[in-house]
Structure 1
Amino acid sequence: MKKFIISFFTLLLVISCKNEPQHLVKIEGKLLPVNEKLESVKEIEDFIQPHKEKVEKEMNTVLSYTKTDLVRTDSQLESSLGNLMADLCFERANPVFNSRTGKNIDFAMFNYGGIRAGITKGNITTENAFNLMPFENSLVVTELTYEKINELAQYLINGKRAHPISKQVNLVVTKDGFDLKINHKTIEKNKTYFVLTSDYLQNGGDNMVFFKEPVTLHKLDYKVRNAIIDYFKEIDTVKVKLDGRFRKEI
């Protein structure tokens, strides 16, 4: 009888250990609020502190100076900050492009929404550059046809916003349409133009589809933010003005 009982329970154990499909029955979670009651860990704070101090020092580094507030809202079709951003990116990128191709960029164009913060009068720091361009966007040069350049101009006109365009552009909205000159010359039908922009916009961001499928595409491996920082490092005092590069005459 004892052997029978042992055999019986052994059989039950074997049956109970048989692999059966597992089914999720319930998931439980717990909310842990982050507030003043949550105590910090000194070991972690001590580890982070040197890195925090280094980052703060770098962010507070003074790069340049501006005598006026730089914003994107001081005019309807152009702005002090937009003009500065387009011009400085052109200035920093053109030598790179020229060294690789033997050609020059015709002009630069970016988007109004890409300017994320203004710069107030006074010292310009590394933090200002990060606030202005918090994204990891890189500079690219697109080769565009006459037709694409016209689409670009129409985009600016329809948008009625101060998208950053460099000083090589002179776009005038007239009662008969528009007049566009690049480097003081009327655009030519059988010519292509090298336009500096960001990789985000080149992929059609902000509905700038005219940048997609260019004749050629040149990646400069140069982040927009780095171009901004490099420019500020070389300029003691930033000087920028509204010069009528995009305006209405109707």
Structure 2
Amino acid sequence: MKKFIIHIFIISSLLSCKNKPPFLTKIEGKQLPITEGIKSKQEIEDFIKPFKESVDKEMNTVLSYTPHNLVRTDGELESSLGNLMADLCYLKGNAIFNSRTGKNIDFAMFNYGGIRAGITQGNITTQNAFNLMPFENSLVVLELSSKKIEELVYYLITENKAHPLSKQFNLVITKDGYNLKINNKPFDKNKTYFVLTSDYLQTGGDNMNFFKNSISSYNLDYKIRNTIIDYFKENDTIKVTLDGRFMKEK
């Protein structure tokens, strides 16, 4: 019995001494600042040179011309760049939507924060289009109820910003409320409206929750950046005006 106990003890000791698999106990990081002191490798530069030259050539391609600076800050509730972006997206997007459905988009709306850069007077290049819209967002058409349109109007009034709106939408803030016309007709609470926007805003981005849970939706499979580039290619001179599509009653 004594020998049996000794054998059990020895076996237990051997098992307890068995090497356990290693496991991570700590992670340490070290910051390596990128400075001018870091020397480049010539073989790497030679390798990427043709790709860089090709990209630079494409980005510097002249698409159009603007006689004035296009920015999002030159109006109180509308802007030259916002009007341009909404109108060109409506024009290009409606052609696709109509060809597929036989219907027309009522108006286009995007977000103020979606305009990422202005365009200075002079030649407009592909780089300008990428700076204006660096995201991979696409155009979508949403069918909204009149209640959703009212929520949209309340959002615009509350935000008090120059969100891009196409010229089919005309909103005037009055002392007693607001007056809204869509396609030169008074807002009709008994109908639905087709609104063009981005797939980002469709999900409630920028707190535009009225775009969520639409009656129907249509993805045009057309990136906004490509829409902008195509429009610039088709128009050698860009003309934009502030026409009072969203304003306060004087």
How high is the TM-score relative to the length of structure 2? 0.91
Describe the superposition over 1:19-45 as per-residue Cα deviations: whole angstroms up to 9, x where unpaired: 424343444444333222222121211
Structure 1 runs not aligned, ≥5 long = 1-13
Q: Which residue of 2 aligns with 1:183?
A: 183
Residues paired across the two proteins, number: 238
- The equivalences for 1:94-243 within 5 A come to 94-243=94-243
C-alpha separation in 2, matches of 1:27 and 1:210: 45
Describe the superposition over 1:227-249 as per-residue Cα deviations: whole angstroms up to 9, x where unpaired: 00000000010000000011111
**Residue type at the aligned position of 1:180:** L
Describe the superposition over 1:124-158 as per-residue Cα deviations: whole angstroms up to 9, x where unpaired: 00000000001111100000011111111111111
Q: Which residue of 2 aligns with 1:6?
A: none
Superposed displacement of residue 176, structure 1: 1.0
**Residue type at the aligned position of 1:200:** Y
Superposed displacement of residue 15, structure 1: 7.8
- The equivalences for 1:9-158 within 5 A come to 18-158=18-158
Describe the superposition over 1:175-211 as per-residue Cα deviations: whole angstroms up to 9, x where unpaired: 1100100011012122110000000111001110000
Residues 18/45 of structure 1: CA separation in 2 closer, same or farther (3 Å cut):
same
**Residue type at the aligned position of 1:92:** K
Structure 2 runs not aligned, ≥5 long = 1-13
Residues 58/19 of structure 1: CA separation in 2 closer, same or farther (3 Å cut):
same
**Residue type at the aligned position of 2:47:** F
How high is the TM-score relative to the length of structure 1? 0.91
Superposed displacement of residue 99, structure 1: 1.0
Moved over 6 A (4+): 14-17
Q: Which residue of 2 aligns with 1:247?
A: 247
SS of alignment partner, residue 196 of structure 1: strand
Q: Which residue of 1 aligns with 2:8?
A: none
Which deviates further from its counterpart, 190-199 or 35-44? 35-44
C-alpha separation in 2, matches of 1:209 and 1:22: 50
Instruction: Say what the alpha-carbon RMSD is for the aligned residues.
Output: 1.7
